[in-house]
Amino acid sequence: MSQTPLIASDEALNPLLHTWSTRPWLALDTEFVRVDTYYPKLCLVQVGDGQHSVCIDTLALRDLTPLLDLLKRPDLLKVFHAASQDLEILVQLGGSCPAPLFDTQLAATLLGLGDQIGYAALVEKQLGIVLDKSLTRTDWSRRPLTAPELAYAAADVEHLAVLYPMLRDALAQAGRLAWLEEDCARAANGSHYITEPADAWRRLKGLARLNPQAQTAAAALAAWREQRAQSHNRPRKWIIEDDAIYRMAERLPRNLAELGALTILPPRTLARHGESLLAALDAARAAPAVALTHDERLASELKARVQKLQERLRAIATTHDIPASLLAPRADLEALVLQGAQAGIPLLEGWRREIAGRELLELL
């Protein structure tokens, strides 16, 4: 078996970029670490064009811009499997999302091959190849990487390059290639992969149990934490835990003594961030109290309507041999019951509207 090429300099990468710019598509994967950082640290990019596969040592390159610019070209299709984490990194580094995309996990789901099927399972099902996953926990930031590690990383795009035309042709034959293109265009919205501090409250679970004033305070604290985590590139929970946000939002301490009496912050965190946390709480206290989210428990009559929609959705999904959750998760059905045609959900757009959304609206 030939050794997988490792591209570790700009000079070695440049001719490959020129070659890849003439290809209609590229199979791509990334390896990264995110243990003690907010942002993932990109360590490798694997690229396959159906003829050759290489690993790019992104830690060794002086400038990633030429590679990122290539991946933004609209005439070059980018093939990923379960693309979201790869896209998050590329948006972070390049400022926008590579497009157009072809996600083989989504393609497999649309073909009835499995709901959110993993890469190894798809390779085994479609190609009859059992992948060695023993190196899954490799520290990709460590150098030098071994030959087996590089071969393991490159295998992802080698098989992806074989899967792509198979799945593309199967989708075209089934009349579902446009479905895939629509969903991949939606996935290529770069805003999906960036959390603005003002929207950080959406990550908090159980916010609906708080009253409007406490919700407003929790949102202010979540925004403060997000900004701090981003600017210092540290995990959110390293700044403050969710439970601490809830307690502060509920109790609204006015000074360091009251904040310390809650016994929810380590002494070092209290000393370092206490004043700025109190400032965030003061601002929230002065702002209008807003209920950002409502109790997710629906009244019995609304539950019955959601259940009715779920039953019909399952029947439609079975007819098309796709998971009902791909058409709409329960949360979207609840939004449909509460907001009707004004619900901003994928079910009311594109191919989903055609095969299910319009009919479910009529059932309301």
* Residue range 7-34, pLDDT digits in tens: 999 999 999 999 999 999 999 999 999 9
Maximum average pLDDT range among 203-212, 260-269, 292-301: 260-269
* pLDDT at position 220: 97
| % the chain with pLDDT above 90 | 91
* pLDDT at position 293: 82
* pLDDT at position 133: 84
The pairing of beta strand 53-57 with beta strand 101-103: unpaired
Residue 132 in this model has a pLDDT that exceeds 90: no
**Count helices and strands in the chain by DSSP H and E runs:** 17, 6
Residue 94 in this model has a pLDDT that exceeds 60: yes
Under 8 Å between Cβ of 359 and 352: no
Average pLDDT over residues 269-294: 93
**HEC profile for 44-103?**
EEEEECCCCEEEEECCCCCCCHHHHHHHCCCCCEEEECCCHHHHHHHHHHHCCCCCCEEE
* Helix 177-187 and helix 147-174, axial crossing angle in degrees, nearest 10: 130
- The structure tokens 């930031």 sit at 141
Under 8 Å between Cβ of 101 and 187: yes
Q: In this predicted structure, which of 2-11, 130-139, 153-162, 295-304 has the lowest mean pLDDT?
A: 295-304
Task: Kindly indicate the confidence band of residue 298, based on its pLDDT and cuts at 50, 70 and 90.
Answer: low
Q: Under DSSP, is residue 6 helix (H, G, I), strand (E, B) or coil?
A: strand
Pair of tokens at residue 301: 């009559």
* pLDDT at position 2: 60
Task: Kindly indicate the confidence band of residue 134, based on its pLDDT and cuts at 50, 70 and 90.
Answer: confident
Residue 1 in this model has a pLDDT that exceeds 80: no
Under 8 Å between Cβ of 317 and 323: yes
* pLDDT at position 167: 98
* pLDDT at position 41: 96
Q: Under DSSP, is residue 116 helix (H, G, I), strand (E, B) or coil?
A: coil
Report the mean per-residue pLDDT for the chain: 95
Under 8 Å between Cβ of 184 and 102: yes
* pLDDT at position 300: 77
The pairing of beta strand 41-48 with beta strand 53-57: antiparallel
Task: Enumerate residues 6+ apart whose C-beta is below 8 A from 266.
Answer: none
Give the span between the Cα atoms of 19 and 46, in whole angstroms: 15
Task: Kindly indicate the confidence band of residue 90, based on its pLDDT and cuts at 50, 70 and 90.
Answer: very high
Give the span between the Cα atoms of 356 and 304, in whole angstroms: 19
**Beta bridge pairs of residue 26:** 78
* pLDDT at position 295: 65
* pLDDT at position 266: 95
* pLDDT at position 297: 59
Under 8 Å between Cβ of 275 and 242: no
Q: What is the reported pTM?
A: 0.91
Task: Enumerate residues 6+ apart whose C-beta is below 8 A from 96.
Answer: 72, 190
Residue 299 in this model has a pLDDT that exceeds 90: no
Pair of tokens at residue 124: 């085994």
